[in-house]
Amino acid sequence: MNEKVATELKGSVRGDVILPDDGRYDEARKVYNAMIDKRPAVVVRCTGVADVIAAVKAARAAGLAVAIRGGGHSVPGFGTADDALVTDLGRMRGIRVDPATKTVRAEGGATWGDFNHATHAFGLATTGGIISTTGIAGLTLGGGIGYLTRGAGLSLDNLISADVVTADGSFVTANAKENQDLFWALRGGGGNFGVVTSFQYKLQPVKNIVGGPMFFEKEDAEKVMRTFDEYISRAPRELGAFFAWQIAPPLPFIPEDRHGDTLCVLVACWTGPPSEAEEALAPLRGAADLVAAHVGPMPYPALNGAFDGLV
Ligand SMILES: Cc1cc2nc3c(=O)[nH]c(=O)nc-3n(C[C@H](O)[C@H](O)[C@H](O)COP(=O)(O)OP(=O)(O)OC[C@H]3O[C@@H](n4cnc5c(N)ncnc54)[C@H](O)[C@@H]3O)c2cc1C
């Protein structure tokens, strides 16, 4: 980026403009996947819509590609690029819940942890990821699968409206009535159609759930997967669950002599009446002999953050 554009950009945003000679550059160019080692021309840590507009316009003026970073969890590292201007939305995490309409407006840099914390206070939630540090933006724009999918659909099914800064620096709203083509494209089109500065979602009544992980021997994986596959297609919609391989972490509910062993795990989330949880979870629990389990009532955000330290 030439000096003139960089100086103008610094003068027009409230957030940080970080160039390669800045001491903060190496930290600013990092994304979640540590194998990604891109060197953008500049990283703009935006503080609001005005900064996003200024950043996109500066990229146009400088002839730079724009990379958009929400939560930074893109595995191939699409939140950054060599020689690009990165619009980093990590400081735009404001969330406003409207309990009367059961909707929420969340800024484009929020994570599911931010989101669930805010909506949980009202006993509400929507489909989000299974890890709380993932960004709502990339996950929603790519579809969004999580514990609540079977009952509430994908994250993008719950999207009502999005505020977007498009490639020419214009600010538009896309929903079922305005800019319908853009709204259609956003729902599955990833970060290719503009910078989404905020998302509006509908919410479902979800507060405390019954759930958690059930660990089985890896030798029982086939049995566990077959049971899961057969049951999940007919289980009540209030049940969300997934299968995974997991190296047993050093947690108190796992026998100490099994720490570090490769096991398989079913993680379940029951959002229906607590009195029906045992029956709903029984087929999963009985898939094979349990090595360990930690299933019980807990706030929904607690399950959402339970595995953050493992990934
Ligand atoms: C640990 C981990 C757990 C995961 N769990 C789940 C899960 O449970 N369910 C699931 O469905 N997926 C899951 N994913 C996949 C995840 O949804 C995608 O990687 C998603 O793209 C990450 O979004 P992000 O905002 O965190 O990432 P980023 O790297 O910031 O962005 C991902 C993509 O979205 C674009 N983008 C980001 N913010 C915006 C914005 N505001 N406006 C426009 N475009 C934007 C970026 O340019 C990039 O192309 C997981 C990924 C990881 C690493």
Mean pLDDT on 99-106: 98
Q: Quick check: CB of 71 below 6 Å from ligand 1?
A: yes
Dihedral sign for Cα atoms in the order 2, 5, 7, 10: negative
What is the per-residue pLDDT across 163-183, written as a single tens digit (0 to 9) for each?
Answer: 999 999 999 999 999 999 999
Of 114, 130, 132, 139, the residue with max ligand 1 atoms within 8 A of its CB, to mutate for a pocket test, comes to 139
Q: Quick check: CB of 52 below 6 Å from ligand 1?
A: no
What is the average pLDDT score of the chain? 96
Report H helices in the chain: 3-12, 25-28, 49-62, 112-120, 136-142, 149-152, 180-189, 221-232, 277-285, 300-305
Contacts of 194 by beta carbon, 8 Å cutoff, 6+ apart:
164, 165, 166, 167, 172, 182, 186
- Is the pLDDT assigned to residue 213 strictly greater than 90? yes
Mean pLDDT on 27-56: 97
Residue recorded with tokens 């339970």: 306
Residue 211: which of 275, 131, 277 has the closest Cα?
277
Predicted local confidence at residue 3, as pLDDT = 81
How does DSSP assign 148-207, residue by residue?
THHHH--GGGGEEEEEEE-TTS-EEEEESSSSHHHHHHHHHHGGGS-EEEEEEEE-EE--
Which two tokens mark 54?
């200024």
What residue ranges define each of the domains in the chain, with the CATH number in brackets?
A: 3-88 (3.30.43.10), 95-205 (3.30.465.10), 208-310 (3.40.462.20)
What is the per-residue pLDDT across 235-280, written as a single tens digit (0 to 9) for each?
Answer: 999 999 999 999 999 999 999 999 999 999 999 999 999 999 999 9
SS3 of residue 238 by DSSP: coil
Q: Percentages helix, strand, coil for the chain, rounded to the nearest 5?
A: 35, 30, 40
- Cα 140 to ligand 1 centre (Å): 8
- Is the pLDDT assigned to residue 1 strictly greater than 80? no
Residue pair 47/107 in contact (Cβ under 8 Å)? The answer is: no
2 compared with 177, residue with greater pLDDT: 177
